[in-house]
């Protein structure tokens, strides 16, 4: 990992793939990941970890299946939200977005359980940032 500051704008400019998170830095045994997203991700759940989202650009919707029913939260640029562990969720971004995530190293991007994976969704624990 770099021991120099990293510009998120430059990091985002270094790749084009959608729904394919890049690890920009580590904090103890957690990753800070960024991703470009557009369209629909997939319903999935992380049984053992919360998942933090910060919207760097654009607008992110996160559909949530909670005990009380299904709802969708909307995160404009500069908004943050934590999806609690065990809550099935599906991020989507009709107009595209750039996001930052904070989650334990090794957390699969499609959760521990998920719907059938569409071709455009990368199942990964995060890729290294190209340098």
Return residues touching a second copy (CB under 8 A). Answer: 1, 3-9, 24-28, 30, 32, 49-52, 54, 56, 73-76, 78-82, 84-85, 100, 102-104
Pick 9 or 17: Cβ nearer a second copy: 9
Q: How far apart, in whole angstroms, are the C-alpha atoms of residue 115 and residue 26?
A: 29
Min separation Cβ 75 and a second copy, Å:
5
Alpha-carbon distance of 66 to 22, in angstroms, equals 28
What is the closest distance, in whole angstroms, from the C-beta atom of residue 17 to a second copy in the complex? 20
Nearer to a second copy, 95 or 116 (CB): 95
Rounded to the nearest angstrom, the gap between the alpha carbon of residue 64 and the centroid of all alpha carbons in its chain is 14
Which of 67/119 has CB closer to a second copy?
67
Buried b (16+ CB within 10 A) or exposed e, 82-103: ebeeebbbbbbbeeebbbbbbb
Question: What minimum distance in Å lies between the beta carbon of 119 and a second copy?
Answer: 29
Q: What are phi and psi of 49, to 5 degrees?
A: -150, 145
| Lookup: tokens for 81 | 């939200």
Query: In whole angstroms, how close is the CB of 4 to a second copy at the nearest point?
Result: 7
Q: Which is nearer to a second copy, 15 or 52 (CB)?
A: 52
């Amino acid at each position: 990992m770099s021991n120099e500051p990293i510009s998120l704008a430059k990091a985002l400019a270094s790749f084009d793939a959608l729904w394919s998170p890049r690890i920009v830095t580590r904090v103890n045994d957690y990753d800070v990941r960024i991703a470009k997203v557009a369209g629909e991700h997939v319903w999935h759940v992380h049984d053992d970890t919360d998942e933090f989202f910060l919207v760097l650009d654009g607008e992110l919707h996160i559909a949530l299946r909670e005990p009380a029913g299904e709802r969708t939260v909307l995160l404009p640029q500069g908004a943050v939200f934590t999806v609690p562990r065990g809550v099935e969720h599906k991020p989507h971004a009709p107009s595209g977005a750039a996001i930052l995530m904070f989650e334990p190293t090794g957390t699969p991007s499609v959760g521990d359980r998920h719907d059938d994976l569409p071709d455009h969704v990368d199942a990964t624990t995060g890729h290294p940032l190209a340098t």
